[in-house]
């Protein structure tokens, strides 16, 4: 139960949106055309992510590498300090490829419970539980969670949780939260009070197997879940965001982690590029 709840925390799947081909032009000395990395949206590489620099194309599928559910993996969320800032090495190719799709809400069994929702996407890989989001000019809101199959899991927040506030920039920090009451988790009644402490605490470079992403923002999330009976669960997450490419990766601690520089993660996700 705790592991599942932990992985149901802040869930963002953004478009890893490789875009159109380079414009037609003259011969570049016989090189032909190199692969295009221009994203669908037009970023300005300023290290600040505006709302227009994240897109959520319904139906798009992004492939991530993830450690198998139930396993742990060594991570280094602190990274290596370089003259240009921290460098986070996410280049490990271990794990399994997980396709995550930005799904439409219309037609889903839980659609009526989330009015105004924009999309849903898998938030817990092991169970397939979906996170439901609303995209607004000022923030990306997490509205709750639901299972793909009807009547198994339905957790609706009492108020939208601003998982990202636009523009996302270094130094941002805020506390938000909401309650789940009368919810259902795997067919069982469920309630909790969730508190998110979110800060954009670093700006640096993410290394993937064959790509470097400069001006990446690290979003630090501390989630405290108060369950009935006085039980409290905490998690620490680091999410790495880049304009137009969205979430490059994440490191999620095991439940009860208190060390911000934890080295063992319950989940280590990164773009499978």
Partner 1 sequence: MRRQAILALLAAALCAASARADDAADEAPLRTLQMTPSPWRSFRLTLDGYYRVRGDMFNDLDLSRGPSPSTGQPIFPLPAAGGNDHTITAADMRLRLEPTLEIGQAVRLHLRVDLLDNLGWGSTPDVLPSTSEPAFAATRAEPPETGINALESSVRVKQAWGEVTLPFGTLAAGRMGGLVSWGTGFFINNGDCLGCDDGDSGDRVALTVPVLGHYITALYELSASGPYVSNFGQDLDVERRAQVNTVALAISRVRSTDAQLRRLRSGRTLVQYGLLASYRRQDLDAPGWTQPGGLTRTFGPNDFVGRGLQSFAGDLWFMIHHHGLRAELEVATVLGQIDDATNAPGVSFRGPITSKQVGGVASLAYSFEWPIRLRVEVGYASGDDAPGFGNRIANGQLTTQPGDLDGPQARPPVDYSIDNFRFSPDYHVDLILWRRILGQVTDAVYIKPTVRLGPFGSAWHHITFDASVIESNSVYATTPPGQNSYLGTELDLQARYRYEAGFEIDAGYGLLFPGAGFRNIPLKLDPQTAQTLEIILAYRI
- Binding residues for partner 1, rule: CB under 8 A, are 18-23, 25-39, 42-46, 207, 209-215, 242-245, 273
* Nearest residue (CB) to partner 1, 221 versus 273: 273
* Nearest residue (CB) to partner 1, 143 versus 217: 217
Give the CA count within 13 Å in the CB-facing half-sphere of 200: 21
Smallest distance from partner 1 to CB 99, Å: 17
* Nearest residue (CB) to partner 1, 31 versus 171: 31
* Nearest residue (CB) to partner 1, 26 versus 107: 26
Smallest distance from partner 1 to CB 183, Å: 40
What is the β-pairing status of strands 188-207 and 85-89? parallel
Q: Which helix (H) or strand (E) holds 7?
A: helix 2-7
* Nearest residue (CB) to partner 1, 121 versus 215: 215
* Nearest residue (CB) to partner 1, 38 versus 98: 38
What is the β-pairing status of strands 188-207 and 264-271? unpaired
| Alpha carbon separation from 170 to 48, 86, 216, 243, 249 (Å, rounded) | 8, 13, 10, 13, 17
Q: Which helix (H) or strand (E) holds 123?
A: strand 119-124
Triad 87, 262, 217: Cα angle to 5°: 35
Smallest distance from partner 1 to CB 242, Å: 7
In the structure encoding, which two tokens stand for residue 150, read together?
A: 């009807």
Residue 183: helix, strand or coil by DSSP? strand
Smallest distance from partner 1 to CB 270, Å: 14
Q: How far apart are CA 30 and CA 252, in angstroms?
A: 46
Is the Cβ–Cβ distance between 242 and 15 less than 8 Å?
Answer: no
């Amino acid at each position: 139960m705790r592991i599942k709840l932990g992985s149901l925390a802040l869930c963002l799947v953004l478009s890893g949106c490789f875009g159109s081909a380079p414009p037609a032009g003259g011969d570049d000395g016989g090189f032909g055309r190199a692969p295009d990395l221009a994203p669908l949206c037009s970023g300005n590489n300023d290290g600040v992510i505006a709302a227009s620099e994240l897109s959520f194309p319904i139906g798009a599928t992004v492939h991530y590498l993830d450690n198998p559910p139930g396993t742990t993996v060594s991570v280094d969320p602190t990274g290596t300090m370089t003259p240009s800032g921290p460098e986070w090495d996410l280049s490990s190719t271990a794990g399994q490829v997980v396709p995550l799709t930005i799904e439409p809400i219309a037609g889903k069994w839980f659609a009526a419970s989330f009015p105004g929702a924009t999309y849903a996407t898998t938030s817990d890989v092991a169970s397939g539980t979906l996170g439901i989001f609303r995209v607004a000019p000022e923030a990306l809101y997490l509205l709750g969670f639901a299972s793909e199959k009807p009547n198994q899991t339905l957790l609706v927040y009492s108020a939208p949780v601003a998982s990202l506030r636009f523009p996302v920039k270094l130094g941002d920090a805020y506390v938000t939260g909401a309650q789940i009451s009368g919810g259902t988790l795997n067919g069982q009644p469920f309630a909790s009070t969730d508190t998110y402490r979110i800060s954009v605490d670093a700006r640096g470079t993410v290394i993937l197997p064959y790509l470097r992403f400069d001006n990446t923002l690290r979003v630090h999330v501390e989630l405290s879940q108060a369950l009935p009976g006085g039980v409290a669960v905490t998690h620490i997450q680091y999410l790495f965001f880049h304009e137009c490419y969205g979430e490059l990766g994440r490191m999620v601690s095991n439940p009860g982690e208190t060390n911000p520089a934890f080295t063992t993660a319950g989940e280590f996700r990164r773009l499978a590029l």
